[in-house]
Amino acid sequence: MKRRAAMAQLIRALTLLVVVVGSFCGGSALAETGPSRPNIVLLLVDDAALMDFGVYGGEAHTPNIDVLAARGALFTQYRSSPLCAPSRAMLLTGMDNHRTGVATIPEVIPPEQEGKPGYTLSLEPGVATLADDLKAAGYRTLMTGKWHLGSEKKDLPVSHGFDRSFALDASGADNWEDKSFIPFYSEAPWFEDDKAASLPKDFYSSKFLVDKMIQYIGEGDASTPFFAYVAFQAIHIPVQAPPEFTAHYKGVYDEGWNVLRERRHQRAVERGLIPEGAALAPMPRGSRPWDSLSKDEQALYAARMQVNAGMLEAMDHHVGRLIDYLKAQGLYDNTIFVVTSDNGPAPSRGDNDRSLALWMKFNGYHIGMKNIGERGSWTFIGPEWANAVASPSDLFKFYAAEGGLRVPFIIAGPGIAPRRVRSFAMVADVAPTLLDLARVTPPDDGRKPMTGRSLVPVLDGEAQETYGPDDVAGIEVSGNAALYLGRYKVTRNLPPLGDGQWRLFDIKADPGETNDLSADQPALKKRLLAAYGSFVDRMGVLEMPEGYDSARQLTLNVRERLIERHRWITAISLGLVPVFLFLIGRMIFRRRGS
């Protein structure tokens, strides 16, 4: 007995010594001892709406995601940012996008903001990622897919805590080939670790990203926990899918977007996502009634949505392959899964821009029915379908309306009981939650602090809400802004579809944002606007230039990129103009002289 007591005392002393030494070393995350720490798989879908997964009421078959939801927590009041890169920065750091350096995306930033603190569009000094802390705590850290957090070598995942990565350093790319998807990019910048990489001939994005992740997981010691971040291209433009998946949705969307948005709204009521009697917002101005399209146009737009659903199902199929691999390796039961989307559905079109059409012609793309969704097909769903799939919310990606912010969030794994969670949550809450579940404490090393909160008390059932009645949560990207306080939200959206006016909504009773309460509750609106002003000051939000319009800015930034990329051609052309004019003048002079 004495020997056993002495041994226990020795173990306690050694444990204390390790903690004390670790606390003085600094710069390393502290991991608690105890049972084996969980693996973490973070699955990020691109541009998925709240109800796109089958378990939320969508048309696409997503059985593997649905199973994860059934064995874990399904959140109904989770919010992201309205744009991809800011959401990814918040997701990986647990802090507001302005504090990370990724306030917006390069495609729409105005020149007045370029390079300013918070607007460098890369993770700035003092910003630590989830991968940084997990790696310091002994995790292997792996990443495949879309990165979009900077454009230099120092901005790649391997410089931000990831041991291995196969990353796309752009807002998107083709899903079948190694090429760009819009004129803003001259190529698809893929990197493996810190070196430029090419893609295999049989490349399809969802399959390849899962193949690579399986490879990376298999390279390590099975006894070492891992963090695997898979950032899918599905369902970002160009929307592309293998035909065998697209075929499953023949006829599903033939009745059009007006019918679909009503049906999703009704399913939202049935599934408890919105209250009975909640109003559905009107279609955005400029929306085309489905019946105004010709039969051929209707067939083409219905086919585009079939590809969209097929792309989601294809992604889910490959998620299933990753799950099967983890089960075969005996890793599944000790793995936490997170499935979410970076923002709401994309309203982008490819049939109303002559410059884009010309670019497509020279880059091997078409937007027609032939082989739709397959190699060479640049498929999109457009604003009307985007608004329909965002139902029961208003608007879509880019905007701080609920259609741009309210997205699915599922977390499952050891210690997480199956349940539906109605607590409000934000994208910045994910990183502190996962660190909490991994029993990892970030070091006090002078870094920028997290602004997010751990969701573990809600997951454990110790708390009903993560945010108290007086706690505010704000978001701002490119002037589109929202601030939440309990059941209320004050929000502003800029052109092209917004007017820059602040509006007040009771999103519990009116999740569709149909009834502006500004006139009825001016004191409450004033309070929320004051809270938003404090948020702006704390986070370093810059005001937008007068007359800012994200669609117009995108056009200007693309034009600037093209001029910069082909500057030598421009210079030669400008140099030849005076020579050409001189020769023409000389010819005219000679003719007159003769």
Active site residues: 84, 148
Measuring CA to CA, which residue among 148, 141, 186, 139 is closest to residue 167? Answer: 148
Neighbours of 333 (CB within 10 A): 11
Beta sheet of 502-506, edge-to-edge order: 472-477, 480-485, 488-492, 502-506
Would you state the structure tokens that stand for residue 446, as one six-digit string?
A: 């002078």
What is the DSSP-derived secondary structure letter of residue 80?
A: -
Maximum Cα–Cα distance across the chain = 123
137 DSSP β-pair partners: none
Would you state the structure tokens that stand for residue 426, as one six-digit string?
A: 């934000």
Measuring CA to CA, which residue among 215, 121, 129, 122 is closest to residue 166? Answer: 215
Report the distance separating Cα 307 and Cα 243, nearest Å: 8
Helix, strand, coil % in the chain, rounded to nearest 5:
40, 15, 45
* Omega before 414 within 30 of 0, i.e. cis: no
Report the distance separating Cα 449 and Cα 118, nearest Å: 14
Measuring CA to CA, which residue among 167, 168, 166, 193 is closest to residue 180? Answer: 168
Tracing tokens 């793995």 back to the chain, one arrives at: 335
